[in-house]
Amino acid sequence: MLKQTALYSAHQKLGAKLIDFGGWEMPVQYTSITDEHLAVRNAAGIFDISHMGEVTVSGTGAVQFLNSVLTNDIRKLAAGEGQYTLMCNERGGVVDDLYAYRLCDDVYFLIINASRIEPDVAWLQAQAAKFSGELKLTDTSHNYAAIAVQGPRVAEFINTVIPGASVSAMRVNAVIDLKKNQIGGFKYNGHSVLVSRTGYTGEDGFEIVGGDESIQQLWAQFLTVGQPFGLKPAGLGARDTLRTEVCYPLYGHELDEETTPIEAGVGFFVSLDKGEFNGRSVLADQKANGVKKKCVAFKMTDKSAPPRPHYPIWANGAPVGEVVSGTQSPSLNLGIGLGYVPVEFAKAGNVIEIEIRGKRAAAVIVPKPIFKKADK
């Protein structure tokens, strides 16, 4: 039985095409992936992200605990700030990638992948059992629904939907005053909601977490208020093409328990100088001595079908790796993807081939991100 979010009936009313995503019945598209993708790049789009998980970590030991299980340095966060970070096993493999927010002094809020809620919570509890400081760890996923409102025009109308100053976390006079990666608590129709200036699209935008009722009301109000600005409801299909263009990893594709953040190309979010943490010795060795395989971005140069996950990657006439994400880029109108290759092939400008249904088509390794606004 698939789980449904608080916005399920709203998706049905909009005529969304629904698919199973990590055990959730989610909209993959409403009208067309291309239209929804371009709405987010050029104007605005709204996504249901209620399937994502939330974990609250509090207590005087929270900082020390989180710094022992996450790769980024949580001490960098002031109240009301967030950071992208990863959770690794002892081998340096990725248990999950997530956003960690500091809501106030000793209260942290983690937003984790839907498909990883159970393994993450089990992993965190096992780590907490070995931890001696004061700590409270709660899976609050079932308390929250969430939406992402993304695109260059969102800043023009979000204050109309969520008016007034914040009341907790980052104190700002208006939601628009939040800076990238900041999070504020706001009152919306009498309900408390958390709003962060974050996203998974490469565009400016906000993510909003709250109870079912407030998120249902926000969804409806954003559709009405945003419509004159070009806002469209956008599904997981556009979410995937948007994040692939800007090379944000997706757990289960670029990241898994046998792949490290260094191999995945997100070593920037691994803070080796903060002290001991899970996976540190492996990650330190890889940062110092290099990796065997690396996640690269590529563009198709031959006219070809779009690359797809698991297609073989060839170099110098031999198969050397595999595509992990691939699609037709709606912004660039050509096939793009991400894949793992041995490090000796992982140089921008190198020509590779993607095997598509038994035939090989030429591609070139490009710097990340694949798409930048200036390219247009």
Nearest residue (CB) to other proteins, 334 versus 364: 334
Binding-residue pattern over the window 257 to 296 for other proteins, x denoting contact by CB under 8 A = ----------------------------------------
Dihedral class, residue 190 (left if φ above 0, else alpha if ψ from -120 to 50, else beta): left
Torsions phi, psi for 178 (to 5 deg): -65, 135
Tell whether residue 327 is a contact of other proteins (CB under 8 A): yes
Q: Residue 268 burial (CB < 10 Å; 0-12/13-18/19+)?
A: exposed
Rounded CA Rg of the chain: 21
> Which one of 1-9, 132-140, 218-226, 301-309 is the stretch in contact with other proteins (CB under 8 A)?
301-309
Nearest residue (CB) to other proteins, 69 versus 323: 323
Tell whether residue 130 is a contact of other proteins (CB under 8 A): no
Residue 72 CA to residue 296 CA, distance in Å, equals 22
Tell whether residue 42 is a contact of other proteins (CB under 8 A): no
Q: How many CA atoms lie within 13 A of 40 on its CB side?
A: 33
> Which one of 97-105, 166-174, 184-192, 305-313 is the stretch in contact with other proteins (CB under 8 A)?
305-313
CB of 237: closest distance to other proteins in angstroms?
5
Q: Is 330:34 a contact under the CB 8 Å cutoff?
A: yes
> Which one of 134-142, 322-330, 338-346, 366-374 is the stretch in contact with other proteins (CB under 8 A)?
322-330
Residue 226 CA to residue 233 CA, distance in Å, equals 10
Tell whether residue 28 is a contact of other proteins (CB under 8 A): yes
CB of 6: closest distance to other proteins in angstroms?
25
Question: Using CB under 8 A, which of 79, 176, 305, 362 touches other proteins?
Answer: 305
Nearest residue (CB) to other proteins, 317 versus 358: 358
Residue 103 CA to residue 88 CA, distance in Å, equals 23
**What's the token pair of residue 108?**
């942290």
> Which one of 2-10, 178-186, 261-269, 325-333 is the stretch in contact with other proteins (CB under 8 A)?
325-333
CB of 315: closest distance to other proteins in angstroms?
23
Neighbours of 107 (CB within 10 A): 17
Nearest residue (CB) to other proteins, 139 versus 353: 353
Q: Is 261:250 a contact under the CB 8 Å cutoff?
A: no
One-letter amino acid identity for 143? N
Q: Is 270:92 a contact under the CB 8 Å cutoff?
A: no
Binding-residue pattern over the window 335 to 374 for other proteins, x denoting contact by CB under 8 A = ----------------------x-----------------
One-letter amino acid identity for 248? Y
> Which one of 80-88, 133-141, 284-292, 303-311 is the stretch in contact with other proteins (CB under 8 A)?
303-311
CB of 312: closest distance to other proteins in angstroms?
15
> Which one of 68-76, 90-98, 203-211, 323-331 is the stretch in contact with other proteins (CB under 8 A)?
323-331
Question: Using CB under 8 A, which of 191, 308, 312, 322 touches other proteins?
Answer: 308
CA distances from 21 to 49, 237, 341 (A): 11, 11, 27
Name the 3-class secondary structure at 376: coil
Tell whether residue 31 is a contact of other proteins (CB under 8 A): yes
The helix-helix angle for 236-245 and 33-42 (nearest 10°) equals 60
Q: Residue 36 burial (CB < 10 Å; 0-12/13-18/19+)?
A: buried
Give the interface with other proteins as residue ranges (CB under 8 A): 17, 28-29, 31-34, 37, 237, 241, 304-306, 308, 327-328, 330, 357
